[in-house]
Amino acid sequence: MGKKYTIGVDYGTQSGRAVLVELSNGQEVADHVTPYPHHVIDERLPGSGKKLAHDWALQHPDDYLEVLRSSVPAVVRESGIDPEDIIGIGIDFTACTMLPVDAKGEPLCLKPELQDHPHSWVKLWKHHAAQPEADKINRIAAKRSEAFLPRYGGKISSEWMIAKVWQILDEAPEIYEQTDLFLEATDWVISQMTGRIFRNSCTAGYKAIWHKQDGYPDKEYFKALDPRLEHLTETKLRGDVIPLGTNAGGLTEPMAAMMGLKPGIAVAVGNVDAHAAVPAVGVVTPGKLVMAMGTSICHMLLGTEEKQVEGMCGVVEDGIIPGLFGYEAGQSAVGDIFEWYVEEALPAYVKEAAADEGLGVHAWLEKEAAIYKPGQTGLLALDWWNGNRSVLVDTDLTGLMLGMTLLTKPQEIYRTLLEATAFGTRKIVDAFHSSGVHVDALYACGGLPQKNKLLMQIYADVTNREIFVADSKQTPALGAAIFAAVAAGESAGGYDTVIAAAANMARVKDETFKPIPENVEVYDHLYREYNLLHDYFGRGENDVMKRLKSIKKSAE
């Protein structure tokens, strides 16, 4: 058999990208990006121009098909590969990004009579307008001591499926009525490619409170939320939940013609961006924490048992790699904090100095901050500029920096912010490790590891763990291509397991970041101080951050 290939398509917040990957070695032969024509819809609906309320974020389902129409033929063309040798396609998506469809699988928002109804559209992961429903979901679950709650670190997010479905029922019962199924967008796109609807074990588990043994929460719980939701899971959330890497069916003739691919090739069930990245950095066994590092960090870890870990986003059997328990945790702002500082608080002289030296502002700050030894700034910060999504799960917490004097320099503040986010990651590492889900090494992908070496060294020193960095331009898309290779199977030239596929297709860079013992020692001291501040301001001893927020609210 000659060389074989699969295509991975990564659906992000602003755009989708296709990557064509060689199966023998994981080489990314060609890639192509399609920005979504309708962008994120957060002000006005397309067509009617109807104004959306605060905290809404929608998308247009045809934008997802546009990625298939444009980016897939583009990578085939650019690579010059014969479509006969492309044996499968897989996708990964933001989540929970969900939509209501009719009995034919058609999105309600594409029906002319429903186009001007905001609730008929795709709700993007960062649609935050279902917070009142999420609050009730949590309150009622806690009161009933629902067994599922600890699996999600004690809190169900407003970003997830049940809160979004309930918001539709609350605010637009007529749309709820006309919905045959609520689907994750990742499952909808796969259904468009195959003509068959399946739910994948990743989004069902992390975003829709589904459990491999227990299924969804029972009817009594849903009835306690709202009697109209009693039968939700066997009606509008019905459908087989199948593990990642399963072939969801062959590519249909019309879709194959549209994309320039061979009909009948394997289409892997849908997946999520951060989760798909895990095998793409070669992680298929417990003990290795994968960090997707960008504006925020998603932390992914594998285990052999279901354990309860404070503040984690969730634990799902088969949720990342079939046969293992996948754990997810996160920090809600990391790169975003550095960006806030650079955009909102940096003196003009720094920007001028960077320009004079032909450097970007981040690069200049990194160079200057690297001159300091750990502890030498005398500063310490709490990384809560966008609340806390890790052990405290509290969006009302805010940022803090301690130790400033008249001599404090911008590069010292920048370094302290890098360190604060590293302490935030250590908190997550410690929460897992002390709950019996071991963390022996860290694996990093996303934009930040390529951009800032000082940041990576600080993470190695603060966590006292070696960090391996992805050697892939598009790690989640490579992951989607890995799952496509597994869906195709060995007989077609792919692989029979994710473990075998990752062994051949995943890559990390040769250069790693190793902890430097003297830095580890100093950071241990600083981390103890961070913990004192963390608990003092975060666990109720001094609720000044919340009081300030409420004073601010009443002053508005």
Ligand X SMILES: O=C(CO)[C@@H](O)[C@@H](O)COP(=O)(O)O
**Which residues in this chain contact ligand ADP in the complex, by CB under 6 A?**
294-295, 335-336, 338-339, 362-363, 366, 446-448, 451-452, 455
Q: How many CB atoms lie within 10 A of CB 84?
A: 11
Give the one entry of ligand X, ligand ADP, none that residue 274 binds, where binding means its C-beta sits below a cut-off of 5 to 8 angstroms depending on kind. ligand X
SS3 448: helix
- Least distance to ligand X from the beta carbon of 471, Å? 19
Dihedral angle sign, alpha carbons of residues 44, 50, 51, 57:
negative
**Closer of 83 and 294 to ligand ADP (Cβ):** 294
Answer whether 8's CB lies under 8 Å from 477's CB: yes
Closest approach, Cβ 244 to ligand ADP, in A, equals 22
Between CA 97 and CA 134 the distance in angstroms is 16
Q: Which is nearer to ligand ADP, 94 or 194 (CB)?
A: 94
Residue listed under structure tokens 């199966």: 23
Q: Which does 125 bind (CB under 5 to 8 A by kind): ligand X, ligand ADP, none?
A: ligand X
Q: Which of residues 336-395 bind ligand X (CB under 6 A)?
A: none
Closest CA to 164 of 201, 115, 128: 128
Which window, 30-38, 266-274, 347-355, 464-472, contacts ligand X (CB under 6 A)? 266-274
Helix (H) or strand (E) holding 140: helix 131-143
- Contacting ligand X within 269-288 (CB under 6 A): 272-274
Rounded to whole angstroms, the Cα distance separating 226 from 47 reads 33
Distance from C-alpha of 130 to C-alpha of 146, rounded to nearest angstrom? 21
In the complex, the smallest distance separating the C-beta of residue 522 from ligand ADP, rounded to whole angstroms, is: 22
Minimal distance, residue 323 CB to ligand ADP, in Å: 29
- Residue 95 or 361 with smaller CB distance to ligand X: 95
Distance CA 479, CA 28 (A): 11
In whole angstroms, give the CA distance from residue 85 to residue 62.
28
336 vs 524 by CB, closer to ligand ADP: 336
15 phi and psi, to 5 degrees? Answer: -155, 165
The pattern of x and - marking residues 222 through 261 that bind ligand X according to CB under 6 A reads ----------------------------------------
Tell me whether residue 445 or residue 492 sits nearer to ligand X (CB atom): 445
Q: What is the DSSP string of 351-366?
A: HHHHHHTT--HHHHHH
CB of 229 or CB of 241, closer to ligand X: 241
Q: Which is nearer to ligand X, 14 or 405 (CB)?
A: 14
133 vs 366, beta carbon nearer ligand ADP: 366
Closest approach, Cβ 94 to ligand X, in A, equals: 4
197: amino acid identity, one letter: I
246 token code pair: 């399963």
Determine if 294 is a binding residue for ligand X (CB under 6 A): yes
* CB-based closest residue to ligand X: 94
338 binding partner (options ligand X, ligand ADP, none; Cβ < 5 to 8 Å by kind): ligand ADP
Q: In whole angstroms, what is the distance from residue 218 CA to residue 360 CA?
A: 54
Burial letters for 507-527: b for 16+ Cβ neighbours within 10 Å, e otherwise? bbeeebbebeeebbebbeebb
Q: How many CA atoms, within 13 angstroms, populate the side-chain half-sphere of residue 171?
A: 15
Q: How many residues bind ligand X (CB under 6 A)?
A: 10
Nearest-approach distance from CB 508 to ligand ADP, in angstroms: 17
Q: Which residues pair with 424 in a beta bridge?
A: none
Residue 164 interface partner, choices ligand ADP, ligand X, none, CB cut-off 5-8 Å depending on type: none
- Whether the CB-CB separation of 285 and 301 falls below 8 Å is answered with no
Touching ligand X, residues 87-126 (CB under 6 A)? 94-95, 125
Q: Which residues bind ligand X (CB under 6 A)?
A: 12-13, 94-95, 125, 272-274, 294, 298
